[in-house]
Each structure stands twice: as structure tokens, then as C-alpha cells.
Amino acid sequence: MTNQLKDNLFVLIKSLSKSEKRQFKLYVGRMDSNEDSKFLRLFNQLDKMNLYNEDVLIKKKIVSKLQLSNLKAHLYKQILISLRLNPQHKNVKLHIRGQIDFATILYQKGLYKQSLKILDKAKSFALKYDENTSAYEIVEFEKLIESLYVTRSLSNRTNELVSQTNLLKEQNNVYSNLSNLSLQLYEKLIKSGYAKSDAESKHIQKFFNSKIKNFELEKLGFREKLIYYQIWVWYSLLVQDFLSSYKYASKWIDTFNKEPEMIKIHPVFYLKGYNFLLEALALIKYPSKFKHRFKDLITVVESSSFPKNQNLSALIFLYKYNNLFNLHVLEASFRDSIKIIPEVLAGIELNKNFIDHHHIMLLYYKIACMYFTVDDYDNCIKYVSKIMNNKNIKMREDLQCFTRVLNLIAHWEAGIDINLDKIFKDTYNYLEKMDDLHEVQRTILKYLKGLENIFPGEIKGFLRNLHGELKKYEDDPYEKRAFLYLDLISWLESKTSSKSVESIIKEKALKINRKEKQTTVHS
């Protein structure tokens, strides 16, 4: 969310589509309130505003300052009720929840058999789509009715309900434990990042092995399998085993392919799984397989059967263009990548209220890298500046580090010498203050410190020495990831030869393509 959208009601109204706004007004028209009702006037005024401003609302005399909070809460509730009635937002969970609500009404009216009949259908529906938490709630409700009232609905009803309760309780317990482990690993990934040494990797392995042994894959249901494979993906990324990450992300998607109707039920899970699969293929550098799987994803999400809503649209935009940039890097088609930048910028503007700062800044970083590779340093500087000037930046520290290094190099390459000393000092100071530097970052810091004493005629030798130092880490399992953010090695090779960065990366890409044809990735 942007800074300008702090008010929850304003954010909600701005998220509504034209059809949702139209439905809300029709919904209000069916209520006792008329078109001049205060909350509808408030809705219309907020809809017109580009920025939230309470002073404007008070001046319009829609409501007094003292009443504004209550009116906003009432409007917020009415919008949610209207959205709940919208067929576009109907899904398995809401359907089950609605059936439980109907059963509750019938129960309160003393129509116990009718209530049980609805609950039985809702339970079958919940079990079909692996919604075990809802199914457990339904069984408990059935037990309540059966225990308080003599319904004589079924023979041997008690044993059936007790058996279902025990089974669902066990399944929900397994799911809960799996989701706990998934959250713990994800927290490690966000807070600490990837393992930086053998000792750190062994510590993660020990923790993981002690937890994962408690689960038997063959006994897991659909949802549990998804979480199980997600856990393996988190773990594989933590220990930087990208081939394993690809393997389990593939299993994640294969789980959906075996039950394609589940894609409609869990579309976000499907998109995230596919994004991790593509990320893994980019990390292990298999361009043809990446391209094939990327096309498969686009075919699915653009089909008429794939669910449509704003959250999904934002995720599809994000994953599509993030991976399209990765594909251009794998194929070294940087000139072509420049052509899609206007589409990306338009997509950012369209989805800015539904994408977090980190991912927007990540797209800016990739745009900057594309421009840098084709020697458009002015545009490169423009987009790294957007990142560095963002006061709400939530990018990882290592990405912020390479943003500053890229900014320094782009200024140097562009011959912009006016503020170069300041940029150099800022970059050096930022690296020096960083916690837990990688060896690649330490090497850059060391050479930055020595750069100020270098004469112009010594630059080439200086850069050749830096290349030699960094080259040692190109295949280091704990260091090579740094070069995915910024291909410093190829840039240094271009500075010590007569070739451009683009041509050097293209030569390397061709070698990878030839190698891929001789190798098969085993899932």
C-alpha cells in the first residue's frame, strides 16, 4: 500500500471495481435508507477523492466530526455485506459458511431435522474440497443437535459422529503442525535469509530433520500435501539447494495437476507454487525448461476457467513480469526486455494498492539492471534512485546493498562526476554498516576503500584484480547468489576487454543453452 492510502475504508472503496460499486448502490437502494442516506453520500464522496482527507468530508457537511467514525464503520460493514453477496466473490469457504449460517437459523427456530439436512450436505461439500476445519465445525454442530434433541435421524448416528470427529481432529492437528513448521521456516527465510556458511546450514538441517520426520506423505490430504511441499521449498531455499527447490515446487504444481478443480479453490497457492518453480529454474539456469513452464502458467491464468479478482490480477501481473525479466536474463535478450518496461510501469500504477513496496522496488531494480546492460545509464540511475529515495523501503539488506553498488557504477559509466565522491562515500558507508556481510560484499568494500587512491592509468589493472577476487566466489554455494542481483563479474570482464556487458552475458547464455541440451533435469 502507498502512504496516501492509510484509511481502511478509503482503501476498501478504492479497491472496488465498477461492477462492485454499481452493486453496492443497488444494494443500498433495496435497504430502508434512501439515496440521500448519509453513508451513501459518504461513499460517493470518498469514491471521488484521490487522497483521503477528513477535512474535506467535514466541509461537505455529510456528517459532523464526532459522528464520522461511527458512520465510516457502518459504511465499511455495508460494503463488506454487499461484496459477500457478489457472485464474483463466491467460493468454497463462503458457500460452506453460508450453509452453516442457514443451519443455525433453522436450529434456532427449532427445525432440527432441516438443520441437520443442510449440515450433512455442507459437510459432504467441505470433505470433497478438503476443508477439514469447516467439516470439523459442522460435525460438532451436528453432535450438539443430536445430544440435545431426540431426532432419530439415523441409526448408529453416535458412532458415526464420534468417528468423524476423531478423524477430522487428527487431520486438522497434522495440518496445524505442518503450517506451524512452514511459518517457522518462512520466518527464518525473511529474517536471516539464506544460509551463509556450513555451520548455519547444518543448524537449519538439524532443526528441519527433527520436525519433518513427524509427517508421512502418503497419509496427507490435498491441503496437507501442499503445505508439506511448501515446507520443502522453504527449506531448500534456506540451504541454497536450488535443484531440490525445483523438485518440490514441481511436486507442488503436480498436486494441482492431478486435481485441476482445486486450482479454482486455491488459486493463490497455485500461483505461488508456480512462481517458486520458475524462480528455482532461473537459479539453476535452465532457460528452455523455464520458458516451457512459464508458457504453461500464462496459458492457465489467461484461461476463462481461472478465477478472476483484483488480488489474483495483481499476483498474476507481479509473477508474470518478474519471471519475464528472469527469462530475458536467461536468454540474454536485454534489448527485448526494454520493450516490456512500459507494460510493467503501467501494471505497477494499476496494481500499486495491491502490491507491497518490496515487490515494486524489486521490479524497479530489475528495470534498472536491464537498462544498465544495454548501456542506458541515465535510465538505470532513474530507477535505482526510485529505490534509494523510497522512505518506506522494505527490500532485503543485500538487495539494497547491490542497488547502491549499481548506482555507483552507473554514475561512473555515465561520466557523471559531479557527485561521484559523495556517492562513493555513501556506498562505502552503507556497506560498512551492513550486518553480517558476505565475502562478495566484503571484497567490494575492500576494493571501494582502495579506489580513492587509484590513478586513471591504473584503473584497468585495479578492475582486473577485483575480477580475480570475485571470480573465486562465482561457484561458491554461499556466495554465488550475489551475482544474480548484479552480474559484476561480466561487467568487470567487459571493462578489461573490448566487449560489451551485453555480449559477454549473451556468450555465457549460449554456453548454458548448449549445456542444457546435453543435460536432463530430474524431478
Give tens-digit pLDDT for 253-299.
999 999 999 999 899 999 999 999 999 999 888 888 999 999 999 99
One domain for residues 471 and 424? yes
Is 117 part of a structural domain of the chain? yes
Is 203 part of a structural domain of the chain? no
Final residue of a domain: which of 89, 119, 142? 89
Rg (CA), the chain: 28
Better-predicted residue by pLDDT, 88 or 249: 249
Q: How far apart are CA 203 and CA 207, in angstroms?
A: 6
Q: Name the band, by pLDDT with cuts 50, 70 and 90, for residue 326.
A: very high
Please count the structural domains in the chain.
3
One domain for residues 108 and 122? yes
Burial 202-217 (b: 16+ CB within 10 A, else e): eebeebbeebeeebee
Q: Give the pLDDT confidence score for residue 299 in this predicted structure.
A: 96
One domain for residues 59 and 116? no
One domain for residues 499 and 423? yes
Final residue of a domain: which of 104, 128, 154? 154
One domain for residues 126 and 52? no
Per cent of the chain over pLDDT 70 is 91
One domain for residues 519 and 397? yes
| C-alpha angle 451-456-461 in degrees, rounded to nearest 5 | 70
For residues 521 and 289, the answer to whether their CB atoms sit within 8 Å is yes
One domain for residues 426 and 482? yes
Please compute the mean of the pLDDT values over residues 235-249 and round it to a whole number: 93
Please compute the mean of the pLDDT values over residues 21-27 and round it to a whole number: 87
Is 198 part of a structural domain of the chain? no
One domain for residues 398 and 510? yes
Q: Give the pLDDT confidence score for residue 452 in this predicted structure.
A: 64
Final residue of a domain: which of 36, 58, 89? 89
Mapped onto helix, strand or coil, the DSSP state of residue 99 is helix
What's the grid cell of residue 22? 454499481
One domain for residues 54 and 147? no
Is 100 part of a structural domain of the chain? yes
Is 250 part of a structural domain of the chain? no
Q: Which of 83-87, 185-189, 476-480 has the highest mean pLDDT?
A: 185-189
Q: Give the pLDDT confidence score for residue 386 in this predicted structure.
A: 92
What's the grid cell of residue 473? 566466489
Q: Name the band, by pLDDT with cuts 50, 70 and 90, for residue 4.
A: very low
Is 407 part of a structural domain of the chain? yes
Domain that holds residue 79: 8-89
Q: Give the pLDDT confidence score for residue 464 in this predicted structure.
A: 86
What are the tens digits of pLDDT across the range 123-172?
A: 999 999 889 999 999 999 999 988 877 655 555 788 888 999 999 999 99
Question: What's this model's pTM, rounded to 2 decimal places?
Answer: 0.82
Q: Name the band, by pLDDT with cuts 50, 70 and 90, for residue 35.
A: very low
One domain for residues 39 and 96? no
Q: How far apart are CA 292 and CA 315, in angstroms?
A: 20
pLDDT of residue 235 exceeding 90, the answer is: yes
Contacts 24+ apart (CB under 8 A), 505-513: 505/329, 505/332, 505/334, 505/373, 506/332, 508/332, 509/287, 509/330, 509/331, 509/332, 510/332, 512/285, 512/287, 512/330, 513/287, 513/288
One domain for residues 490 and 419? yes
One domain for residues 83 and 99? no
Please compute the mean of the pLDDT values over residues 477-501 and round it to a whole number: 82
Is 160 part of a structural domain of the chain? no
Q: Name the band, by pLDDT with cuts 50, 70 and 90, for residue 486.
A: confident
What's the grid cell of residue 449? 576503500
Is 418 part of a structural domain of the chain? yes
For residues 105 and 142, the answer to whether their CB atoms sit within 8 Å is no
Please compute the mean of the pLDDT values over residues 67-91 and round it to a whole number: 84
Please compute the mean of the pLDDT values over residues 226-234 and round it to a whole number: 95
Q: If phi over 0 gives left and psi between -120 and 50 gives alpha, with beta otherwise, what is residue 443? A: alpha
